[in-house]
Amino acid sequence: MTSKIAPEILKQKTPFLLWVLLVLALAVKILYLKSSMGGPFYDPLLLDPKYYHQWALRLVGGQWDTGVFYGLPLYPYFLALCYKVSDNSLLFVKSFQIALGMGTLFLIYKIGCKLRDVKVGLLAVFFAGIYGPLFFNETVLIAETLSLPLYALSFLCVLRFIDEINFKNAIFLGLAAGLATLTKAGILLFMTLFFIYLFFCTLGKKGKLSAVLVCLLFYFGILAPVTIHNFVRGQDHVFLTSHAGFNFYIGNNSQSQGVFVAPEGTGSNVEAQIADSRQVAEEEMGRPLKPSEISNFWAQKAWSFIRGNPRQFAELCGRKLALFFDSREISDVDDYQFGAKINEFLQIPWMNFAVLGPLVFMGFVSLMRQPGYRVVTFAWIGTYLVGLVSFFVTARYRLPLLPVFFPLAAMGVLDLWENLKKFSLINSLLLLAALAGGIVVSRMELVHTDWSRNYINAGDALLEKRDTLAAKDFYKQALEIDPYSGKANLAMGLVLTREGSYDEAKDYYVRAIDIDPENSQAFNNLGLWYDRKGEADSAEKYFLKAIELKPNSSQAHNNLGMVYGKRGDNEKALKEFELSLALNPNSARANTNLGLILRRAGQTEEARRLWERALEIDPEFNEAKKALELI
């Protein structure tokens, strides 16, 4: 089954052919970047990209992290460094991520050569160069853009460390794997088992055992600063991040479908998850909780579900495994398939997981008959899948495995071709059976694609850019797909409010509440509608309902404070503005409103400080500019 060594003539041409493939891949990546610039998702305005973007900007502005890390910190710190050297250039960041992607392609070539031969390496690079989801995600501000090269480098270092256990290879592996873990912790289980295995294999071999211990030292040495930060700056015992328990619950509860679905009472963006998961946990426990306690609260709820429903849990794990190999790009951030609806470049039939997935199944068969690295390769893939199946599945979570999947797919294709040429019926049928099995698994479609959500996200991004006309068009399409979407009705109400069509907007807010009586934002917006009409009592009622549904809503507390301020009830207004600011210190509006109340109380200098702070947050915030003109 093992392919023969490439002919001498191919060996001589390999460097040139590799460079050709890399140049072509670079051209594809640059053309896609150019084509995406006018799209609604080019700027990091929503979900994880927005979270990382804002985190990086705070770091650039000197606001160093003082609490426990909620997410793994390496990517936002990398992003901050890029912003620092490029004067906050988003184009520079995306270009640099493309450069990292080119490095990943070279590492894929090296992995292919290591697993089999030059032909596998070259074919793997070809697959990677035309793989649509790869160049698509390389321009998105997500941690996986850094995971890809680091996971590829780590796997290559693992293979070299197996070949020769020495101090040089130990240091490289420890550093690469440590950095990879700080972008995505899916490698942690593999490294733990790998160290245990190597420890017992090298007992009594002093030199090799020392190299293993050095690797262990460098690996955990990279992770240690994060743990120390959490203890010193966050005053809590958290190994890496505090979001593991909540994510574990998202993937393991009675309503779990295997993909990301925000639990009842929590939002879908990162900021809402942080605030809402804390609120729910503290309300149930009846006391303030540390981040580790919040994580443990949600983890215990997940374990309770698992212990009480072992069969459902087993079925859920199988479902997640199948979803991992789904031919579609199941998204929770930018959606590749939806991108093809708004970007002509993505309408080209690029290679995707519908093709790669079944080829990888064929590669599994090839790998089983391949001596050398099959055990460690299966362990690398298997431990990552165990970690992923323990939580939930999205397409971007399989990106770190692509540097191994491309060479496996190449091995499968080349083995099939060689066996067909030799008329090796049994081996050919075995490979074709694996291919057929991969096709069946990848097309099970265990979850449906919610296109309305993608149209809403596009509209939200355009609304952030103040392009209300284009946003409105996307919201209309979302409502055509799902007229009973509470989010779409709320979004249409928002865009109509921006247009000044207040009465029409009210109808959509009312409809959103009819569809979802727990829609805090719709109640808040209705409160604003009544406030604009001068009906303070009704506005107060709706703001209070919004706060009842979501006590950590900075916006609702601010709006309620405005009602009290207009009435002249400065004490109540002061309390609401302080609550709003405590929930969101980076709200220019809350800073400005609190300053106005303090000025009424004669605290002019404190008011000035708040208005200046509001302009630091948003230099174009006119209310703060007008307030400063008062003194």
Measured between alpha carbons, how far is 486 from 463 in angstroms, rounded to an integer? Answer: 18
- Check residue 14 and give its pLDDT: 59
Q: Is 570 helix (H, G, I), strand (E, B) or coil?
A: helix
Rounded to whole angstroms, the maximal C-alpha distance in the chain is: 93
Region at 544 (left for phi over 0; alpha for psi -120 to 50; beta for the rest): alpha
* pLDDT reported for residue 4: 40
pLDDT in tens, 255-269: 999 999 888 878 778
pLDDT, residue 240, reads 95
Residue 237, SS3?
A: coil
Backbone phi, psi, residue 131, to 5°: -85, 105
At 163, phi and psi to the nearest 5? Answer: -60, -45
Percent of the chain topping pLDDT 70: 98
Q: Is the pLDDT confidence value at 2 over 70?
A: no
Distances (CA, A) of 125 to 132, 406, 443: 13, 7, 25
CA distances from 29 to 101, 138, 275, 346, 505 (A): 9, 9, 37, 12, 41
Question: How many helices and strands in the chain, by DSSP H and E?
Answer: 30, 0
The contacts of residue 358 (CB under 8 Å, 6+ apart) are 435, 436, 437, 438, 439, 442
Average pLDDT of the chain? Answer: 93
Residues 282-312 have pLDDT tens digits of 989 999 999 999 999 999 999 999 999 999 9
Q: For residue 624, which phi and psi values (nearest 5 degrees)?
A: -70, -40
Which DSSP string corresponds to 424-465? -HHHHHHHHHHHHHHHHHHT---S---HHHHHHHHHHHHHHT
First-to-last alpha carbon distance for the chain, in angstroms, is: 83
Q: What is the pLDDT of residue 32?
A: 98
Sign of the alpha-carbon torsion through 88, 94, 98, 103 = positive
- Side-chain-side CA neighbours of 131 within 13 Å: the count stands at 27
| Distance between CA atoms of residues 496 and 532, nearest Å | 14
What contacts 161, CB < 8 A, 6 or more positions away? 169, 170, 173, 215
CA distance 527 to 521: 10
Is residue 333 pLDDT above 60, yes or no? yes
Q: What CATH topology corresponds to 473-628? A: 1.25.40
Residue written as token pair 């190999």: 325
Buried b (16+ CB within 10 A) or exposed e, 415-433: bbebbeeeebeebbebbee
pLDDT band at 583 (very low <50, low <70, confident <90, very high): confident
What's the CA gap between 70 and 242, in Å, rounded?
5
Q: What is the pLDDT of residues 386-401, one digit of tens each?
A: 999 999 999 999 999 9
Average pLDDT over residues 61-65: 88
Rounded to whole angstroms, how far apart are CA atoms 103 and 90?
A: 20
- Identify the pLDDT of residue 10: 40
Name the pTM for this structure.
0.91
pLDDT for position 586: 84
Angle at 335 between CA 329 and CA 341, to 5 degrees: 110
Cα separation, 55 vs 206, in Å, equals 45
Give the pLDDT confidence score for residue 397 in this predicted structure: 95
Alpha carbon 470 to its chain centroid, in Å, reads 26
Domain boundaries along the sequence of the chain: 8-237+328-442, 244-317, 473-628
Out of 97-106, 327-336, 344-353, 494-503, pick the least confident. Answer: 327-336
**What are the contacts of 265-270 at 24+ separation with CB within 8 A?**
265/518, 268/47, 269/46, 269/47, 269/50, 269/51, 270/47, 270/48, 270/51, 270/70, 270/71
Write out pLDDT tens, residues 136-173.
999 999 999 999 999 999 999 999 999 999 999 999 99
Q: Has residue 210 got a pLDDT over 80?
A: yes
Assess whether pLDDT exceeds 50 at residue 5: no
Residue 133 burial class via C-beta count within 10 angstroms: exposed 0-12, middle 13-18, buried 19 and up: buried
